Amino acid sequence: MLKRLCALSLLVWSAGAASAAAEDLLSPEQLENASTWVLASEQVCGLSLNPARIRAFVAQQVPDMNWALFQFQVDARRKRGIPLLNAEQLQRHCQGMRQVIQQAGWGG
């Protein structure tokens, strides 16, 4: 059940990020929510990231961030969410992540 929920969350987020990034800029709240997906997607999508810049952005948005929970979310998305995607879904997801990175300036 948890795996299905993670996969559904990932698909909804990926589709939303891709379409939102194509139409409008994402809000700071949307970027903060995207940060764990971006970090989790780095290797599988071949992304070049600046993790320190991402963490600084998150710290600015959420000053009392629980960093252990943040890292847990990154790991959970990497291990349980992304592997459930088929090739087409993964391609769309990675495209959305690239758009988020470009808008947020999180490239490395």
Q: What are the backbone dihedrals phi and psi of residue 65, each rounded to the nearest 5 degrees, phi first? A: -55, 135
Angstrom distance (rounded) from CA 101 to CA 65: 21
Provide the strand spans (E) within 1-108.
none
pLDDT in 10s for each residue of the chain, 108 residues = 445 444 445 554 555 555 554 457 889 889 999 999 999 999 999 999 999 999 999 999 999 999 999 999 999 999 999 999 999 999 999 999 999 999 999 998
